[in-house]
A and B are shown apart, each in its own frame.
Chain A
Amino acid sequence: MMAKRVGMEVSVAIGEAAKMANVDVVAAYPITPQTHIVEHLAELVADGELDAEYIPVESEHSAMSACLGSSAAGARTFTATAGQGLELMHEVLYVASSMRLPIVMTVANRALSAPLSVWGDHSDAMAVRDTGWIQLFTENGQEVVDNVLCAFRIAEDQRVLLPVMVHLDGFHLSHMIEPILLPEVEAVKRFIPPLKYPFPLDPLKPVSMGDFGPPFIYSEAKWAQEVKLREAKDVVVECWQEFGKQFQRHYSPVEEYRSEGADVLLLTMGSYSETAAAAIDKVRAEGKNIGLVRLRLWRPFPFAELRQKVSQARVLIVLDRALSIGGPVGPVCSEIRSALYGQAKQPKVVSIVGGLGGRDISVAGFEAIISRGIKVAEKGSRNEFEIFGVRE
Chain B
Amino acid sequence: MHTTEHVESTISDTALITALKKLVRSDAVLSSDEDLKPYECDGLSAYRALPLVVALPETIEQVQDVLKLCHSHKVPVVARGAGTGLSGGALPHEQGVLLSLAKFKNILHIDPTRRIARVQPGVRNLAISQAVDQYGLYYAPDPSSQIACTIGGNVAENSGGVHCLKYGLTVHNIQQLKIITIDGELLTIGGSGLDSPGYDLLALMTGSEGMLGVIVEVTVKLLPKPERAQVLLAAFDDIVKAGEAVGNIIAAGIIPAGLEMMDSLAIRAAEDFVHAGYPLDAEAILLCELDGTNEEVSEHVAKVRDVLKQSGATEVRTAKDEEERLVFWKGRKAAFPAVGRLSPDYYCMDGTIPRKQLPLVLKTMADLSAEYNLPVANVFHAGDGNLHPLILYDANIPGELERTEEFGGKILELCVEVGGTITGEHGVGMEKINQMCVQFNSLELQQFHAVKAAFDPQSLLNPGKAVPTLHRCAEFGAMHVHKGELPFPELERF
Whether A associates with B in a native complex is: no
